Structure 1
Amino acid sequence: MMMMDGSMMTMMCIIMGIGLLLLIIAVGVTIYVVTRLLMRKYRVEDGPLLILKERYAKGQINDEEFNHKRKLLDD
């Protein structure tokens, strides 16, 4: 069995630390990208419905028109 001296142990610890740091960065980037993609999808899909709700709240469209357009958006 080969004995390791102090410099070899230090080098192994540094390499393991760099590997752990790269793993943490990769997980962080993955979470960031997935979150951004999900948020973009949410905004794109709900954008027209939010505009419709705003127009209804401002009184620009009536109940009948709101319900009709909402059904169109749901399909």
Structure 2
Amino acid sequence: MVDGSMMNGSMMEGSMMAMCIMMGIGLLIFVIVVGLTVYLVTRMLMKKSRLEDRPLMILKERYVKGEINDEEYKQKRNLLFRHTE
């Protein structure tokens, strides 16, 4: 004969196990959502940074290639910095 308290104990263990699994799945979903959010925000910020730095990079390249002189470089760089402020 099966003892009633023994049956309740195994049912309780099963429900505790199910609850732990559900909490684990919830935690995993939370970590995935937070990770995805951090990834997307970081990616957007980096993209914005690259777009803002592009004109200055082009200006530096032209200066290094000798397409513009010191005076033109300084003048255009100052103009770029005034537009970003």
Matched, 1:45 2:52: yes
In the other structure, the counterpart of 1:13 is 20
Give 1:1-75 correspondences, 5 Å limit. 5-75=12-82
Give the number of aligned pairs.
Answer: 73
- Normalising by structure 2, report the TM-score: 0.80
Return the alpha-carbon distance in structure 1 between the equivalents of residues 51 and 37 of structure 2: 21
- Normalising by structure 1, report the TM-score: 0.90
Residue 60 of structure 1: SS of its match in structure 2?
Answer: coil
After the TM superposition, which parts of structure 1 deviate over 6 Å for at least 4 consecutive aligned residues? none
Aligned-residue offset at 1:64:
0.6
Q: Which has the higher contact order (CA 8 A, sep 6+)?
A: 1
Deviations 1:12-67 (A, max 9, x none): 01100011101110110111011011101110110000000011011111001101
- Percent of counterpart pairs with the same letter? 60
Structure 1: 5+ residue stretches without partners = none
Q: Which amino acid aligns with 1:36?
A: R
Structure 2: 5+ residue stretches without partners = 1-8
Q: Which amino acid aligns with 1:43?
A: R
Larger gyration radius, structure 1 or structure 2: 2
